[in-house]
């Protein structure tokens, strides 16, 4: 049975930088307040007209080039996003057409911040069962057009940014690759981090009352999200380590979802990790949801923080609640 290995990786963030000072022009906030609570200094925003599938294209091109593959080599597109181009069709189908891939399958995954790690798990099964030789996994988000850029929405608006990351998962005969993935969810907390409307349970799905009440904007119970994140993150990381006979001392690099610097610091403390065992770039890009793990992983690789043979752990927690981890031998 072949191993599922990341053979190529890429990312892209839009050039437009939005600093904390920029946001203070729209809402009652400031740089000190944002950095103290989140660790974020700036994030990237798309220009008008750029959609989620558009943003993914440069990341996919980089990953494909890094893997040395052509479009005809890819057997399946897995597209993780919480901000799809449309309700229908999925962003994966739009990417397939825009990039002129063959008429292969395109699967969208909607588990928000955990989406990329979920996507890796799906790709792993297809590769290990010899269904496909190469699977494209994408995390891409355009959050800026979905934010309430006012004092009413500042608790979430200051956190999120736009970006895309992509990997090619390929069949491999060596001992490197994805060792295991671990997925969880608990819908009892769905309303602690959600977008209430438009909704299939409302008729019409979008009306003036929804717009006036701001129900179409993301709402977050920050205290509850933090409480669960600092518990679930270490749990699912330890689960991946235990499943493969490792301890936290064996981790060469942990790449967590870039949600909040305080969450990352709590994870590091609970696992007893050194500073060089955990990667963070939230100060530059904010929380890019499903894109944050592949963006951070790509930057870590580009910065030579990951070398062949390293034990790399990816982990995410987000809306749903969902949480997941993947452990890889690089």
Indicate the SS3 state at residue 80: strand
Cα 250 from Cα 277, distance rounded (Å) = 10
Q: Residue 244 has what DSSP assignment?
A: T
Name the band, by pLDDT with cuts 50, 70 and 90, for residue 4. Answer: very high
β-pair partners for 108 = 79
Buried b (16+ CB within 10 A) or exposed e, 148-168: bbeeebbbbbbbbbbbbbbbb
Indicate the SS3 state at residue 240: helix
The reported pTM is 0.96
Cα 9 from Cα 109, distance rounded (Å) = 19
Contact 236, 257 (CB under 8 A): no
Name the band, by pLDDT with cuts 50, 70 and 90, for residue 175. Answer: confident
Rounded (10°) CA dihedral 149, 154, 319, 122: 50
What is the share, in percent, of the chain residues with pLDDT greater than 70? 100
The whole-number average pLDDT for the span 183-204 is 94
Least confident among 113-122, 159-168, 201-210: 201-210
pLDDT at 209: 93
Cα 132 from Cα 129, distance rounded (Å) = 8
Tens-place pLDDT, residues 57-101: 999 999 999 999 999 999 999 999 999 999 999 999 999 999 999
pLDDT beyond 90 at 243:
yes
Tens-place pLDDT, residues 147-170: 999 999 999 999 999 999 999 999
Task: Give catalytic residue positions.
Answer: 113, 257, 287
Name the band, by pLDDT with cuts 50, 70 and 90, for residue 30. Answer: very high
Query: Can you say whether the dihedral through the CA atoms of 190, 52, 281, 310 is positive or negative?
Result: positive
The whole-number average pLDDT for the span 26-32 is 94
Token digits of residue 190: 């769905």
pLDDT beyond 90 at 171:
yes
pLDDT beyond 90 at 250:
yes
The whole-number average pLDDT for the span 183-206 is 94
Tens-place pLDDT, residues 266-310: 999 999 999 999 999 999 999 999 999 999 999 999 999 999 999
Indicate the SS3 state at residue 302: helix
A 10 A CB-CB count for 234 gives 18
pLDDT beyond 90 at 1:
no
């Amino acid at each position: 049975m072949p191993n599922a290995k990341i053979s190529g990786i890429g990312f892209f963030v839009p050039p437009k930088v939005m600093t904390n000072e920029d946001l203070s022009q729209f809402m009652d906030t400031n740089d000190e307040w944002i950095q103290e609570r989140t660790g974020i200094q700036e994030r990237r925003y798309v220009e008008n007209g750029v959609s989620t599938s558009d943003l993914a294209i440069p990341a996919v091109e980089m990953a494909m080039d890094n893997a040395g593959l052509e479009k005809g080599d890819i057997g399946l597109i897995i597209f993780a996003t919480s901000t799809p181009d449309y309700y229908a069709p999925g962003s994966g189908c739009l990417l397939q057409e825009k990039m002129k891939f063959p008429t292969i399958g395109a699967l969208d995954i909607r588990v928000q911040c955990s989406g990329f790690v979920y996507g890796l798990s799906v790709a792993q099964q297809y590769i290990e069962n010899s269904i496909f030789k190469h699977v494209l996994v994408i995390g891409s988000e355009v959050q800026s057009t979905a934010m309430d850029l006012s004092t009413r929405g500042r608790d979430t608006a200051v956190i999120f940014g736009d970006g895309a990351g992509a990997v090619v998962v390929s069949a491999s005969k060596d001992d490197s690759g994805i060792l295991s993935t671990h997925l969880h969810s608990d819908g009892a907390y769905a309303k602690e981090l959600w977008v209430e409307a438009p909704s299939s349970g409302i008729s019409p799905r979008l009306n003036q009352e929804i717009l006036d009440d701001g129900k179409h904007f993301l709402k977050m119970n920050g205290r509850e999200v933090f409480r669960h994140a600092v518990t679930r993150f270490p749990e699912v990381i330890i689960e991946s380590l235990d499943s493969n006979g490792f301890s936290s001392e064996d981790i060469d690099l942990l790449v967590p979802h870039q949600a909040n610097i305080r969450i990352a610091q709590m994870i590091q403390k609970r696992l007893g990790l050194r500073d060089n065992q955990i990667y963070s770039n939230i100060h530059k890009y904010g929380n890019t949801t499903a894109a944050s793990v592949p963006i951070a992983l790509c930057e870590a690789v580009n910065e030579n923080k990951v070398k062949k043979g390293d034990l790399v752990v990816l982990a995410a927690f987000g809306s749903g609640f969902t949480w997941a981890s993947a452990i890889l031998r690089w």
